[in-house]
């Protein structure tokens, strides 16, 4: 297993989820820390999911 986090990637009018390897690093602008994280050149993978129509259980996979 690889430690990492899921990041939203905005593209026009929808959000695309990506898996990013490693720990998230907070971004600061003029000393103010926001909710954004720095991704840079860290490896990223698309996230795909499956949902049970009966109970709503979700499984997510980084592909």
Where is pLDDT greater, at 42 or 63?
A: 63
Three-class secondary structure assignment of 1-63: CCCEEEEEEEECCEEEEEEEECCCEEEEECCEEEEEEECCCCCEEEEEEEECCCCCCEEEEEC
What digits encode the pLDDT tens for the residues 8-28?
Answer: 776 666 777 889 888 887 776
Is the pTM for the entire model greater than 0.75?
no
**Domain limits at 12?**
4-62
In the chain, the number of structural domains is 1
């Amino acid at each position: 297993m690889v430690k990492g986090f899921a990041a939203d990637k905005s593209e026009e009018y929808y959000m695309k989820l990506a898996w990013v390897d490693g720990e998230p690093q907070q971004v600061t602008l003029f000393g103010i820390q926001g909710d954004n994280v720095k991704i840079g050149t860290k490896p990223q993978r698309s996230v795909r999911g499956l949902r049970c129509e009966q109970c709503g259980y979700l499984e997510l996979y980084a592909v």
